Structure 1
Amino acid sequence: MTIRNVLVVCIGNICRSPMAEGLVAAALPGVQISSAGLQAMAGQRADPIACELMDARGISLEKHRARQLNLDMCQRADLILVMDREQRRTVQERYLFAAGKVFRLCEFGDQDVPDPYRAGRSAFERSLALIEGGAQQWVKRISRVSS
């Protein structure tokens, strides 16, 4: 199975999923990577702290605008990566057909990525460290199955 379209999901689509989207997209230029939120702050820019941390990694979130998760996005995605068990359950309940393609970003480390929203820079740094580890694992797997 070739993975051509990856959707990254969190709650507001302004902190965790944009950072994960940026990291995975940078590592997999031939794959369509996008993000959305279960309760998206639609139209909002990425959180300033997320932007700052990603800029330090050479990845710009300047063009990011939060989007609400919808049926079409889930249908087009070959893989849907969420931040925690609750989000996985929610996506699978809303979109029953997606059950086999929804996984946590940190599935292989059996970890959830905590939401850093309004919790300060150190919370963002902790979440981003988990996101980077999870993204690296998925990039390896996607590269293997898509090559």
Structure 2
Amino acid sequence: MFNKILVVCVGNICRSPSGERILQKKLPSKHIASAGIATQKSGLVGKSADAMACEVMQQYGVDLYDHKAQQLTPELCHEYDLILVMEKGHIEAVTNIAPEARGKTMLFGQWIGQRDIPDPYRQSREAFEHSLTLVDKAAQAWAAKL
């Protein structure tokens, strides 16, 4: 049913690419991508994943080095069956970009107590480790459901 999954955060350089790659590893038959709500506004379109995110994700055997950030668009929302966001507030942000996507937008942390996954951008290694541990747990939970 959900064959195309889009993982969304703010800049598409930390959480969403990590979620994308972990889900790809766990669900190899699915088409999974990621995008950012404010990637364009932040000047991050085409940028690589955050260096600390790349480093921490190596612990999970996940390579982010070839990631390029992209802006969430109405067209992308239309293309995917399921949109997974990192924070409850992102649901409204996605809805503002593509109102018709509201019914297929859910929290990435839905199955781990409907948790928001905090943004580690420009924070300590510990903040990245905490955030990406939650991304991994949430991805495992989604893989079990899908």
| TM-score using structure 1 length | 0.93
CA distance in 2, matches of 1:25, 1:118: 26
Measure how far apart 1:136 and its partner are.
Answer: 0.9
Alignment match, 2:129: 125
1:75 to 71, 75, 78: 78
Q: Count residues with an aligned counterpart.
A: 141
Runs of 4+ in structure 1 over 6 Å off: none
CA distance in 1, matches of 2:104, 2:145: 14
CA distance in 2, matches of 1:68, 1:57: 26
1:107 to 107, 110, 113: 110
CA distance in 2, matches of 1:57, 1:125: 11
CA distance in 2, matches of 1:50, 1:12: 13
Measure how far apart 1:137 and its partner are.
Answer: 1.1
Percent identity, please. 42
Alignment match, 1:140: 144
Structure 2 residues not aligned, in runs of 5+? none
Question: How do 1:15-34 and structure 2 match up within 5 A?
Answer: 15-34=14-33
Is residue 66 of structure 2 the alignment partner of residue 49 of structure 1? no
| Counterpart residue type for residue 9 of structure 2 | C
- Greater helix content: 1
Residues 66-99 of structure 1, C-alpha deviation per residue, up to 9 Å, x if partnerless?
A: 0000111101111000000111111123211111
| Counterpart residue type for residue 139 of structure 1 | A
Measure how far apart 1:3 and its partner are.
Answer: 1.1
Instruction: Quote the RMSD (CA, aligned, Å).
Output: 0.9
CA distance in 1, matches of 2:119, 2:62: 20
C-alpha contact 2:14 2:120 (8 A) present in aligned 1: yes
Is residue 96 of structure 2 the alignment partner of residue 97 of structure 1? no
Measure how far apart 1:140 and its partner are.
Answer: 1.0
Alignment match, 2:7: 8
| Counterpart residue type for residue 52 of structure 1 | E
Structure 1 residues not aligned, in runs of 5+? 143-147
CA distance in 1, matches of 2:60, 2:115: 23
| TM-score using structure 2 length | 0.93
